Chains A and B, each alone.
Chain A
Amino acid sequence: MNGPIVSGRDPRFEKTLYKHVGQPNSWTLDYYLSHGGYQAIKKAIAQGPDWVIEEVKKSGLRGRGGAGFPTGLKWSFMPKNTGKQHYIVCNADESEPGSFKDRYLMEDDPHQLIEGMMIAGVAIEASKGYIYIRGEYRRAYDRLISAIREAYAAGYLGQNVMGSGFSFDLYVHRGAGAYICGEETALMNSLEGLRANPRMKPPFPAQAGLWGMPTTINNVETLCSVVHIVERGADWFASMGSEKSRGHKLFQVSGPFKRPGVYELPLGTTFRELLLDWAGGPTEPIQAIIPGGSSCPPLPWTEEILDTPMDYESISAKGSMLGTGGVIGIPASMSMVDAMWNVTRFYGHESCGKCTPCREGVSGWMVSLFEKIGTGRGRRGDVELLESILDQIEGRSFCALADAACWPVRGSLKHFRHQFVEAVEQGKPIERQGSRWG
Chain B
Amino acid sequence: MGFFDDKQDWLREVFAQYPDTPQGRRAAIMPMLRRIQQEEGWISPERQKEVARILGITATEVAGVMSFYSYYQALPTGKYHLQVCATLPCAIGGADELWDELVQELGILRGEVTPDGLFSIQKVECLGSCHTAPVIQVNDEPYVECVTKARLKALLQGLREGKRLEEIVLPGRVGHEVHLRGEEVGA
A254 x B133 contact (CB < 8 A): yes
Looking at A260-268, A305-313, A376-384, the stretch in contact with chain B turns out to be: A260-268
Q: How many A-B residue pairs have CB under 8 A?
A: 199
**Interface size bucket, B side?**
35 or more
B179 x A261 contact (CB < 8 A): yes
Question: Which of A21, A191, A260: most chain B CB closer than 10 A?
Answer: A260
Instruction: Give the chain B neighbours of A280 by CB distance below 8 A.
Output: 182, 184
Is residue A98 within 8 Å, beta carbon to beta carbon, of the partner chain? Answer: yes
Return B65 CB to nearest CB of chain A, in Å.
Answer: 6
A96 x B126 contact (CB < 8 A): yes
B130 x A176 contact (CB < 8 A): no
1/0 per residue, CB under 8 A from A, across B105-147: the answer is: 0000000000000000000111111111110010011110000
Complex: chain A residue closest to B98, CB-CB: A437
Is residue A416 within 8 Å, beta carbon to beta carbon, of the partner chain? Answer: no
Q: Using a CB-CB cutoff of 8 Å, which residues 316-342 of chain A contact chain B?
A: 326, 328-331, 334, 339, 342
1/0 per residue, CB under 8 A from B, across A142-178: the answer is: 0000000000000000000000000000010111111
A193 x B29 contact (CB < 8 A): yes
Question: Which of A22, A94, A95: most chain B CB closer than 10 A?
Answer: A22
Known A-B contacts A97-B130, A255-B89, A328-B89; the reply to A18 vs B178 at CB < 8 A is yes
Instruction: Give the chain B neighbours of A96 by CB distance below 8 A.
Output: 126
Known A-B contacts A21-B178, A438-B149; the reply to A259 vs B183 at CB < 8 A is yes
Instruction: Give the chain B neighbours of A22 by CB distance below 8 A.
Output: 178, 180-181
Is residue A249 within 8 Å, beta carbon to beta carbon, of the partner chain? Answer: no
1/0 per residue, CB under 8 A from B, across A381-397: the answer is: 00000000000000000
Q: What are 23 A-B contacts defined by CB distance under 8 Å?
A: A22-B180, A98-B130, A99-B126, A107-B176, A135-B71, A136-B71, A136-B124, A136-B137, A138-B140, A192-B23, A193-B26, A193-B29, A195-B65, A211-B23, A254-B92, A254-B130, A279-B179, A331-B92, A342-B86, A346-B88, A349-B125, A436-B91, A438-B94
